[in-house]
Amino acid sequence: MAAVTSGASDAMTRFVERHPAWALIVIIAVAVALWLIFAVWPPGLEEAIGRKRVFLNALFNGITLGGLYFLVASGFTLIFGLMRNVNLAHGSLYLFGGYVGYAISASTGSWILSFIVAFVLTALVGVLLQVLVFRRMEGQDLRQTMVTIGLSIVFADLMLWACGGDFYQIQTPSWLIGPIELPLITAVKSSGEPVYLRYPLVRLVIFLASVIIGIAMWLALNRTRIGMIIRAGVDDRDILAATGVRIQIVFVLVFALGAGLAGIAGVVGGTFQSLSPGEDIRFLLASLVVVIVGGMGSIPGAALGALIIGLAEQLGSVYIPTYAIVVTFLIMVLVLALRPQGLLARR
């Protein structure tokens, strides 16, 4: 762990030395953000940009939505990183996972179980996709991309046929319903008594879970043997295969993990939003934007991209409702113009 921190601080020192102006801007932005979050807002500021409660809620909603986006996009980016395969059926896996989760939670009443089953079943679909479809056209990027588009249309129609056009919502377990008070002051009453922020517990739990999954993935990739193999595969597939690693099994494993994560994300999305036809495309688009912003193939990039897009959506919907949709794509355009490989890509 010490090596990690020192490595991070080294990188930071280098960044400050190379771009002193940028570093200053970043430090000021962080300071302003911290002040906005922790300070009691003076009345002038409340008049100018609205109540602090609204701001904090939008901020937290953005971060928790980012957690959901990360779950979807991390699988997408992992599969791309290793196999150079843009899986445009990833959104279908999300929706499939959600429907499975709904069926399990409705029939057994167990929310936790719905995650496990959704993960296993979507991972299985992922394995089938890899074995039956992608292995047959390895190295033919364009063909694979076209096939995944076709598959996503077929899956969408199959799911419409099986589940109908209705909206499904996965029941939040009773112990997660309701808000909790966070130690952040939103306002001070005239009696001098502080008013604390109340925030839905379920969203915080889901965000924590996605952070844990993200860290676990990072550790697995950087600290285990299989992670080492995967990283080696990302760098150079052919040499890795030449060293005697059975790369097809690694491919299947990674595809299963990526698909399973999309399935879990489907259950999460079905719990704090809802499931319906069309959600597959919405989340495919979201994860495309997230990985383009963050950098194709990079897990930390997916995390950063998801956070930026989630925040942009929610803050946008509160402060500039008419243009909220544009903001996301504006960010994507900016990133493509200034740093086309993505914010955290290695190359």
Which residues sit at the interface with another protein, rule CB under 8 A? Answer: 50, 53-54, 57-58, 61, 65, 164-167, 169, 171-172, 177-179, 198-203, 272-274, 276-277, 314, 317-318
- Cβ closest to another protein, residue 170 vs residue 254: 170
Question: In the bound complex, what is the minimum distance in angstroms from residue 63's beta carbon to another protein?
Answer: 11
Q: What are phi and psi of 183, to 5 degrees?
A: -75, 50
Question: In the bound complex, what is the minimum distance in angstroms from residue 314's beta carbon to another protein?
Answer: 6
- Cβ closest to another protein, residue 145 vs residue 273: 273
Question: In the bound complex, what is the minimum distance in angstroms from residue 152's beta carbon to another protein?
Answer: 19
- Cβ closest to another protein, residue 164 vs residue 340: 164
Task: Give me the amino acid identity at 9.
Answer: S
Q: Are 136 and 248 in contact (CB under 8 A)?
A: no
Question: In the bound complex, what is the minimum distance in angstroms from residue 179's beta carbon to another protein?
Answer: 4
Q: What are phi and psi of 180, to 5 degrees?
A: -120, 160
Q: What are phi and psi of 227, to 5 degrees?
A: -60, -40
- Cβ closest to another protein, residue 54 vs residue 241: 54
Question: In the bound complex, what is the minimum distance in angstroms from residue 178's beta carbon to another protein?
Answer: 5
Minimal CA–CA distance to 257: which of 87, 63, 137, 65?
Answer: 87
Using CB atoms within 10 Å of the CB of residue 282, give its burial: 0 to 12 exposed, 13 to 18 middle, 19+ buried: middle
Cα 226 versus chain centre, distance: 23
- Cβ closest to another protein, residue 148 vs residue 276: 276
**213: which 2 tokens?**
């999954």
Question: In the bound complex, what is the minimum distance in angstroms from residue 287's beta carbon to another protein?
Answer: 16
How many beta carbons lie within 10 A of that of residue 113, not counting itself?
A: 14
- Cβ closest to another protein, residue 55 vs residue 134: 55
What is the spatial distance between Cα 281 and Cα 160, in angstroms, rounded to a whole number? Answer: 13
DSSP conformation class of 183: E
Minimal CA–CA distance to 263: which of 86, 93, 148, 125?
Answer: 93
